Structure 1
Amino acid sequence: MVDDKSITEQVQEFQHIANKIAISEIDLDENFHVGGIVSKHPPSWKEYKSKLLHKKEDLTLEQLLQHLQIEQEIQYRDNNILKEPP
C-alpha cells in the first residue's frame, strides 16, 4: 500500500483481487486475508500496523474494515488540524 491513496480505496482493490481468487475456486482463509491487508499498510501507518499485529484476538474482515475506516478518519482529521494556520 502507499501513502498517497486512501486506505479504504486500497483495501477495496485488495478485496477485488481476493474475489477473483475466490472465483477461481481457491479458498482464501479469512485470517490470511486480514493478515495480508494488515501487512501491506503504508509506511505512515507503521504504529497502527504494529498495534493490529499485536492484538490477542483475531479480527474478522468486517471488523478490520471498520477499524481502518475509523483510523483513516482520525489520521485525516489530525493531519488537517496540524496543517491549519494558527
Structure 2
Amino acid sequence: MSNVKEMTSKFGKLEKFEGVDFRRWQNKRHFLLTTLKVVYVLSTSMPEHRDDETMEEARNCLKWENDDYICRGHILNGMSGSLFDVYQNYDQSAKELWNELESKYMAEDASSKKFLVGNFMNYKMTDSRPVMEQYNELLRILGQIAQHKMEMDESISVSSIIDKLSPYWKDFKHKLKHKKEELSIV
C-alpha cells in the first residue's frame, strides 16, 4: 500500500491542465488511472442496483462507485484551479466528465493541429542560437504533431529540418542532401 501512496504523491506533481495541450494531459491522466487500476470506469457504465442482486453483484457495484470516485478525483486534481472550480460541482460520473472534456477540448486541438503544422513548416533556424537548441525545438514540435496522431514520413521530416538550417550551414546542408544513405531524425 505504501508503494501506491508514494506513486500517487509523485503523480500529484504532474502538470495541471489549463485548457491547452489536452491530448498530452489526457494521455498522462490515462496512464495514471491505468496504474491505479480505475481506468475501466471511463469505458463502462455504472452497474445497476437491483432488489434481488447477489452479494457479489453488490460488491461489484460498490467497487465501481468507489473507483469512479477515485477516478473523478484524479481527473479533477489534474486541472488548474480555475478549471477545477468549473467542473467540481457537476454531478456526473468520471466517464461523463472525461467525455465532456474530450468533446470540448478535442475540437480546440483540431485547430492546434493546423497551428503545429504551420509552426513546423515556417520554422527557420538562425545563427544567433545554438543549432542543437533549435533542433530540439523542432523535435518538440514533431513530438506534438505525433501526439495529435498526425503522421509525417521521417525522410520528409529529415529533409525539412536540413532545409531549415541557416545559410551559414550551406556546405553542410549540401553534403547532407547528397548523401546516398537514408538519414533518420536522430
The two structures have a TM-score, normalised by structure 1, of 0.68
Q: Post-superposition shift, 1:35? A: 0.8
Does 1:49 pair with 2:49?
Answer: no
Identity, in percent, stands at 39
Does 1:25 pair with 2:149?
Answer: yes
Distance 1:28 1:15 in 2: 13
- 1:36-85 deviations in whole A, cap 9, x for unaligned? 110100111000000101111111111xxxxxxxxxxxxxxxxxxxxxxx
4+ residue segments displaced more than 6 Å: none
The answer for the alignment partner of 1:75 in structure 2 is none
Distance 1:12 1:33 in 2: 13
Aligned AA (1:53): K
Segments of structure 2 that go 5 or more residues without pairing to the other structure are 1-124
Pairing of 1:59-78 with structure 2 (within 5 A): 59-62=183-186
Aligned AA (1:47): D
- 1:22-41 deviations in whole A, cap 9, x for unaligned? 11110121111111110100
Alignment length (residue pairs): 62
The answer for the alignment partner of 2:137 in structure 1 is 13
Does 1:38 pair with 2:162?
Answer: yes
Structure with max Cα Rg: 2
Distance 1:7 1:42 in 2: 9
Structure with the larger RCO, 1 or 2 (CA within 8 Å, 6+ apart): 1
The two structures have a TM-score, normalised by structure 2, of 0.33
Aligned AA (2:164): K
Two-structure CA RMSD over aligned residues (Å)? 0.8
